A and B are shown apart, each in its own frame.
Chain A
Amino acid sequence: MISTYRVLLSPKLQTVRHRSRGTGSRTARQILIGALGLFVGYGLYWGVRELLEVLLTVEDLGRLLAFKVLSIGLVAMLGILLLSSLIAALSSFFLARDLPAIRSAPADWLAVYFARLTETLVSSSWMVLLLLIPLLIAYEQVFDGGIGFYAVSVLAFVPFFLIPAVVGSAITLLLVRVFPASRSRDVLGFISIGAVGLLVLGLRVLRPERLVNPDASRELVDYLAVLRGPSSPWLSSQWTVDAVAGYLDGAFEPFWLLLLWSTAAGLVVLGAVLHSRMFPLCFTRAQEGVDQRVKRHAGWRAYEALLSPLPLRRRELILKDTRAFFRDTTQWSQLILLAVLVVVYVYNIRVLPIRSNEVLERWLVSIVFFLNLALSGFVLAAIAARFVFPSYSLEGRTLWLLGSSPVRTSTLMWSKFWIGAVPLTVLAVALAGATNVFLGVGTGLMIISLVTTAVLSLAFTSQALAWGVFFPQFEAENAAQIPTSVGGLLFMLGAIGNLILVILAQYLPLRAYVWSGFPGGEARDPTGWELGIALVLTLALCGLTTLVPYRAASRRLDA
């Protein structure tokens, strides 16, 4: 069994090995990626460390707050891991191109299960693991955990990652069993709805607003109860927190590690039994064809009419991309997730405690204004990574048609830019408008905010496309996999860098206004000059970060 397991994983390992070997330019690229990764990792470590040190200054509650933050972080990670596992398991157990060869080989079923589970585990966890490492180092440094902390962490986090991978694989198997004929499309639709449920549930479980403002709890005792009580005693994330936090607090209990490992082992056994009973039938049903007749609805005709003023070739490219998007469930199902994210975000801004005794805290408004810019910018970057970054990779093997046609390949860039930029800008402006109304910012700042999010969406669209062109994933098995590639990560890093520069470009001219709102200062509105300089700097910066990647990608396409 073990030798078959090794053989089954060998193509993936060999692919990784071949990739890591490479030519001079590839090595340079790997060094660059490594350096960027280290830089971001250090930034994260530094941020968490600073946060923990601030929290520890709170008398009596400091340690509780620090572990509560870890608990919240791990619940979020568990949710991400479960969702990623569902998508990864669908790909590795049912959609992978090597499955017909494996199914036709006399391979041990248990080895196949473990090999596919390993692939699911690795592809769903690597990004979360990269985020987790600096976070754990920060905890170790601040709490002086020593080498023992790392040992406990390894023992606690292996089952932490394994449990959602097994559960995700099992749920995917059950979904394919329930929806045989309509195959992966319905499964992914279901996964999206499930993800929505998870998110809402996660928010209810966390009730983060109770942590924000101790005054909101009627009694200090209530507040302490919130802090002391486990966020979610039935989730493996809480057991993981109990294991590592217990160690840092000098009250380590091996029970939590035993609970994690026994749960993981039990689930692996259950998963294997489920796989042996159901996989052959599910795999067969996943291959079944379905009637996929397409009818032209009135909506489509209206959309075609709307695009009719465009030149024929450009119109056809846009129509083709729109059709492909809405007929690909792995693509549009993410819209549901996006809608929930936006609603949750706007809601959170709505309930922010920016008024004290009904008086608007001006300093808090200006801080939250920049925080809002950062967060909504991050949301936009994440959306661009999900929807815009994969668009060139999705052309992949069909590029021969454009390449042999009398259309310049860079025309593709044009159509993909606008098909991404228009909805993203509309969303960005709506997001910025709604949140700033709730924050009660003045007209000047409102204009700045609307313009900034609009130009940021153009810049992010251009950058997502360009990274997608330079780091294409032509072999990806579905659109949802593409953003988790190295190119996707680089895009996110670049976009966050762009966002930080924009925030600086606005903060520097507006800093006198921001500080005027603080206690002791003379509160005032920003002057026209301050707003004008902030606006011009933002436009210049985003103009540059839109045009440079756009041109570079166009040149690459025409080369």
Chain B
Amino acid sequence: MIVLEGLTKKYGDFTAVAAIDLEIPANCIFGLLGPNGAGKTTTLRMISGILRPDAGRVLLGGHDVHEAPEPAKALLGFVPDRPFVYEKLTGAELLRFTAGLWGMAGPEVETRIDELLELWDLTPWKDQLVESYSHGMRQKLIISSALVHNPTVLVIDEPMVGLDPRSAWLFKDLLRSFVDKGGTALVSTHTLDLAENLADMLAVMHRGELVAVGTLEDLRRQASAEGASLEEIFLRITRGATDEDIERVLSR
């Protein structure tokens, strides 16, 4: 459902994403992991058509996102890493506006808006301006806006930021149901528990490259870490600071 072919993005001399290839099938939750600055957000922004790649292409449902954006994006729901939305619209107006961008209006949309707001306990805030929403409420609203037009592909950058435990549980349940009904979800996250428990497939991105791709078992094999947790695999693959580094910082 999501296909990346030689996807590349450079910022000046710095290569943020280095010719990555990836195929994510339907009915799959795909977890994208990686340290800060690995290129995850840039990749997700290219997949959702916000950033144009310097080379390579992105196919959604067989449509090139940059050459045929309309049919490709018609399938897409996107949740960005930071919940910036129109502050001067109400929650309901934002969802109505989003549905309008996907060419949907009328009573069905209104029912859908009510259902989504109810799901996230946002109904009392329906007619309040978004500027008065808390961080978590904005995150719920943005997840709702990604779902309001019934997409078949969800691209989500850091879904758990600001969500309370009940909402986090609800999100996981929602994502599983979405995929079971034929959807495809690409989720970038630092929450390794979420990835370990929820994702059908995983990829670890490091310095712009996909350094490991597959199921959790595949990743264990690639990292030569039989029986290891995802956290241990991640640390082994990305090799960050050591215990000695931490000791040195704290001893001053």
A interface residues with partner B (beta carbon < 8 Å): 23, 289-295, 312-313, 315-316, 319-320, 323-324, 327-328, 396-408, 559
Contacts and interface: CB of A to CB of B under 8 A. Distances in A.
A406 B129 contact: no
B128 A406 contact: no
B101 A294 contact: no
A405 B128 contact: no
Contact of B101 (A290, A293, A295, A313): A313
A401 B100 contact: no
A292 B82 contact: no
A487 B241 CA distance: 44
Interface in B68-87: 69-74, 76, 78, 80, 82, 84-86
B120 interface: no
B106 to A, nearest CB: 10
A293 B130 CA distance: 10
Contacts of B170: none
A519 B125 CA distance: 72
A293 B127 contact: yes
Contacts of B74: 406
Contacts of B12: 23
Contacts of B76: 404
Contacts of B213: none
Given A312-B103, A313-B103, A406 B84 contact: no
Give the one of B76, B89, B155 with max A CB within 10 A.
B89
A291 B132 CA distance: 8
Interface of B: 12, 45, 48-50, 52, 69-74, 76, 78, 80, 82, 84-86, 88-90, 93, 96-98, 100-105, 127-129, 131-132, 145, 155
> What 6 pairs between A and B have smallest CB-CB spacing?
A316-B100, A397-B84, A403-B50, A404-B78, A406-B73, A405-B101
A323 B69 CA distance: 28
A162 to B, nearest CB: 34
A404 B128 contact: no
Contact of A292 (B45, B105, B128): B128
A399 B45 CA distance: 12
A328 B131 CA distance: 11
16 contacts: A294-B93, A312-B104, A327-B88, A328-B88, A398-B84, A400-B45, A400-B84, A401-B85, A402-B101, A403-B48, A404-B50, A405-B98, A406-B70, A406-B72, A406-B103, A559-B52
A406 B71 CA distance: 7
B77 to A, nearest CB: 8
Contacts of A323: 88-89, 93
A88 to B, nearest CB: 21
A404 B73 contact: yes
Contacts of A396: 84
A486 B12 CA distance: 24
A259 B7 CA distance: 67
Given A312-B105, A406-B74, A408-B69, A400 B128 contact: no
Contacts of A398: 84-86
Contacts of A289: 132
Given A323-B89, A408-B69, A401 B129 contact: no
B89 A324 contact: yes
A320 B48 contact: no
Nearest to A331: B88
Contacts of B71: 406
A559 B93 CA distance: 29
A293 B98 CA distance: 20
Contacts of B78: 400-401, 404
B62 to A, nearest CB: 15
Given A292-B131, A294-B129, A397-B82, A405 B88 contact: no
Nearest to B74: A406
A374 to B, nearest CB: 36
Given A289-B132, A293-B128, A295-B127, A315 B84 contact: no
A405 B80 CA distance: 13
A521 to B, nearest CB: 58
Contacts of A23: 12
A405 B86 contact: no
A401 B50 CA distance: 9
Given A400-B84, A405-B73, A312 B48 contact: no
